[in-house]
Structure 1
Amino acid sequence: MSRATEDSNRRMLRARDAMDRAYAEPLDVPALARIAHISEAHFIRTFRATFGETPHRYLQRRRVERAMLLLRETDRPVTEICMEVGFTSLGTFSRTFRDIVGEPPSAYRRRGPVAAVPSCFTMAWMRPSSFGEAGGDAAD
């Protein structure tokens, strides 16, 4: 990988990390481009080439992911969740949610709470592996 590609990826990751941290804030392309230290047009093209989607779509998806958790884990009104995750219109939220998830927020909520993952699975998944590590012995 060339140094220029590494630098570009680092800039895009910086902007994406900002979106992950402040997804509920009113983020726009000019602000994100400033974070990445590049022009707005170049930012949109480079972000899409790096992550496979536009910055706007990434931010929408991130907001919907958070809303999915809130819908299944709380009994707060859909409108309140919509505003909390950064949407300013219930209609836009509902349409975007349906486009990404495949069903409206109310239908998604009716499924009920997300089942807990068994702790034995979680522990096994989180356990460090010696596979491929220098000097590691799987028999230890």
Structure 2
Amino acid sequence: MSAARPASRPTPSPALLRRLLRAKDRMDAASDEAWPVQRLADLCGLTEAYFARAFKAAFGLPPHRYLLSRRIERACALLRDTDLSVTEIALQTGWDSLGTFGRTFRDITGSHPAAVREQLRRETPVQALAGMPLCHLMAAHRPDLRSAVSEKRRQAAAATTATSDTHSDKELT
């Protein structure tokens, strides 16, 4: 048993894994494109439902969350390494709406793009990254999307409600 994979998750066959890697590689190469499950399933020669289940079993994330993580990862790299505007970065990383990009970016990273730009530039000067392999650099900045963005929003709202309830209880005593 591997520590990275829970015991309940079966190991996909090598042939299935090759098909899934084909879809994953396509998403990596063109994360700015639209990748609906139907398109990915067709690429692999699988049904939509089977593809989605197999992808999650193999890589630990559903296809949509994986694509989101790649887009946010790319946006963080562009924020750190370029002087492009947030709007240009949103469009280059596959977002149609600046509002959706900003909200999703904030939900995943915890900060707005401009704040992340400042933080990344302050913490990691571009010259310090010159000798580091790109794959290691990208993996280090990959966002954690094991839970859905909407689930993170619900948790944040619940935490805010719990905090306000605690303050209300203190005021009553």
TM-score (norm 1): 0.77
Instruction: For 2:88, give the aligned amino acid.
Output: E
- Aligned mate of 1:61, from 66, 69, 76: 69
**Structure 1 residues 28-47: aligned runs within 5 Å:** 28-47=36-55
**Structure 1 residues 1-140: aligned runs within 5 Å:** 5-111=13-119, 113=121, 114-115=124-125, 116-117=128-129, 119=131, 122=132
Q: CA deviation at 1:112?
A: 5.1
- Say which structure is richer in helix: 2
- Give aligned pairs, total: 120
After TM superposition, which residue ranges in structure 1, 4 or more long, deviate above 6 angstroms? none
Structure 2 residues not aligned, in runs of 5+:
1-11, 134-173
Alpha-carbon separation, structure 1, partners of 2:14 and 2:130: 39
Structure 1 residues not aligned, in runs of 5+:
124-140
CA offsets 1:81-132 (integer angstroms, 9 cap, x no match): 001110111122112212222212111012253321475xx59xxxxxxxxx
Q: CA deviation at 1:7?
A: 1.3
Alpha-carbon separation, structure 2, partners of 1:40 and 1:100: 26
- Structure 1 residues 44 and 82 mapped into 2: Cα distance closer, same or farther (>3 Å)? same
Instruction: For 2:100, give the aligned amino acid.
Output: T
Alpha-carbon separation, structure 1, partners of 2:103 and 2:59: 23
Q: Which residue of 2 aligns with 1:128?
A: none
Alpha-carbon separation, structure 2, partners of 1:27 and 1:94: 20
Alpha-carbon separation, structure 1, partners of 2:28 and 2:130: 27
- Structure 1 residues 65 and 14 mapped into 2: Cα distance closer, same or farther (>3 Å)? same
Q: Which residue of 2 aligns with 1:135?
A: none
Alpha-carbon separation, structure 1, partners of 2:78 and 2:15: 36
RMSD value over aligned CA atoms? 2.3
